[in-house]
Amino acid sequence: MNLIELQHALRQLRLGGIATVLETRLHQAQAEAMAPIDLISCLVADELTRRGDRLLERRRKQAAFRDPQKTLDHFDFNFNPKMNRSLVFDLATCAFIGKREDALFLGPGGTGKSHLAQAIGQAAIQQGYRVLYRETHVLLDELADAVVDGTRKEFMVTLTTVPLLIIDDFGMRKLPLTAAEDLLEIVMRRYERASTLLTSNRPVEDWGKLLGDVAAVHGHAGPHSPSRPRAQVRPRSWRTKVAVDAQ
């Protein structure tokens, strides 16, 4: 079996990472007089690296971030010296996902809520979690389309089982009549089963106006009224919060 045949066989075995670097590694083995086990170790490491990179890329595409370049490395913390960086980086460790806790980012537009939400989503993917990002109006449109297509049940399973669901820009646009029921169904089905990160430009006491009486009945529009944009973590329910200024 020559080199080309060997590379073809490796690809048939789904070992494309090894096939891609095989010729280079063989030259390296000859130049450095590598022991066979060292050569095999390098090839296996190459394959694992390629698979890991492809998995990360696939999960980033599945997450469908609006701005994939938004990471913590690109976030300017200096615009707000009062921001609790410790809490932001604590969220980026994704420990809250392992605990099935939720997070809220509240505040007016331009304060970095969407950037931080997507950055935490990127960090979660790096740590092996599946993530789904949707702007609120896009999520509701997709849910409506699923109803028409007869795939609502399957779509709801996707929404309620992904380890981290990011719902961005809640309150930015007028919501359809079914928004309250749909959003509350998603939140309640995920409650203590998976983590939800929600960003909003509206204080929590306005959520009842946005969602109608259904939200008030379920107790999700609490009395907390932030005067500044802030990030919040919900350990047990939406009404329990740890807040930090985000402006």
Residue 157, amino acid: V
Q: What is the pTM of this model?
A: 0.74
Nearest residue to 71 (alpha-carbon basis) of 118, 111, 112, 106 = 118
pLDDT in tens, the chain (247 residues): 899 989 999 999 999 999 999 999 999 999 999 999 999 999 999 999 898 888 889 999 999 999 988 998 888 888 777 677 888 899 999 999 999 999 988 877 777 889 999 999 999 999 999 999 999 999 999 999 999 999 999 999 999 999 999 999 887 677 766 777 888 889 889 988 999 999 988 777 777 777 665 444 344 433 333 334 454 444 334 333 333 344 4
4 three-state secondary structure: helix
How far is C-alpha 159 from the chain's CA centre?
Answer: 12
Sign of the Cα pseudo-torsion (155, 159, 160, 162, in order): positive
